Amino acid sequence: MTSPSAPLPADAIEALEEASFLRDTVRAFRKNRMAMVGLAFVLLLVLGAVFAPWISPHDPYRVALDEQLLPASTTYWLGTDNFGRDVLTRILYGARISLVVGIVPSLISLMIGTMMGILSGYLGGRTDFVVMRLADMMIAFPSLLLAMVVMYTLGANLLNIFIALALVGWASVARVVRSQTLALREKEFIEAARANGTARITVMLRHIFPNVVPTLIVLFTLAIPEAIMWESSLSFLGVGVQPPEASWGLLVAKGKEYMFQAPAVAIAPGVAILLTVLAFNFIGDGLRDALDPSMKD
């Protein structure tokens, strides 16, 4: 609680408020050690992906049939794959695609799903019916098939992967957000806003949305690995990223054929996925706590 002090002029209070919300959030986030570790890992990964050509002495696409499936050594830190390419280099290059594929479609489906879910839950009635039946259709339809149809029709490139994944992903987000909205709608503070004549759009933006954010963060951290795996399935089926291009999903999928001769070829990119997912989870946890006013004291 604030200690008693001399009254502040109104605009000073306002300026203080805007500044202190951000500052409080940043401070709370920085206090969370795991979140900072996660953030550091993701930043490192991004740097590694961007500067891969300068960091790695190897060419990710050069085929060297005399150097197939070598074990880890000082030259090849994680060994080589079935074409004699350096695994670590390919993981770094794969991060370029996998990070983007993990984050962008998750964000898109989260945005669409949140909008649909809040509209559906808050407005109810016909809107709810239409949106939810649409979501049912999306969920009932085999998603892999749907994604493949999109990829076949539009062609295999990164943008179309985004479209396919967002199309598959928004429905489950919408369902979760809708159920949260239904619970929130019955809260008295929503009723108070209605009693004040607050416009419906304002109620949705200022009352419902901020209270859904913690769930969205959790959904986001869950959606990233899912998107990475989806990309690998599509790539595996030949409609995603095309070899010799590298993505983590593709590396795992191709590498698992050599599981017994050179386990690192499949396991190393798998570990990269795992660590990235963990890092995003930590960041998500930290963000959720930092954004919750009651956690700041």
- Cα dihedral sign, 24-27-31-32: positive
Of positions 23, 33, 133, 206, contacts other proteins by CB under 8 A: 206
Position 215 contacts other proteins (CB under 8 A): no
Which region among 12-20, 51-59, 169-177, 245-253 touches other proteins (by CB under 8 A)? Answer: 12-20
DSSP H or E stretch at residue 165: helix 158-185
Q: Contact letters (x/-) for other proteins, 75-114, by CB under 8 A?
A: ----------------------------------------
Nearer to other proteins, 30 or 187 (CB): 187
Of positions 22, 65, 140, 195, contacts other proteins by CB under 8 A: 195
DSSP assignment letter at 295: G
Residue 208 tokens read as 């419902």
CB of 16 to other proteins, least distance (A): 7
CB of 48 to other proteins, least distance (A): 36
| Burial class (CB within 10 angstroms; exposed 0-12, middle 13-18, buried 19+) of 12 | exposed
Of positions 127, 211, 215, 233, contacts other proteins by CB under 8 A: 211
Enumerate helices (H) and strands (E) in the chain, giving the number of each: 12, 0
| Cα 287 to Cα 184: distance, rounded to the nearest angstrom | 21
Position 202 contacts other proteins (CB under 8 A): yes
Q: Identify whether the C-beta of residue 42 lies closer than 8 Å to the C-beta of residue 280.
A: yes
- If phi > 0 it is left, if psi is from -120 to 50 it is alpha, else beta; for residue 76 that is beta
- Applying CB under 8 A, which residues contact other proteins? 1-2, 4-5, 7-8, 10-11, 13-14, 16-17, 20, 187-189, 191-199, 202, 206-207, 210-211, 292-294, 297
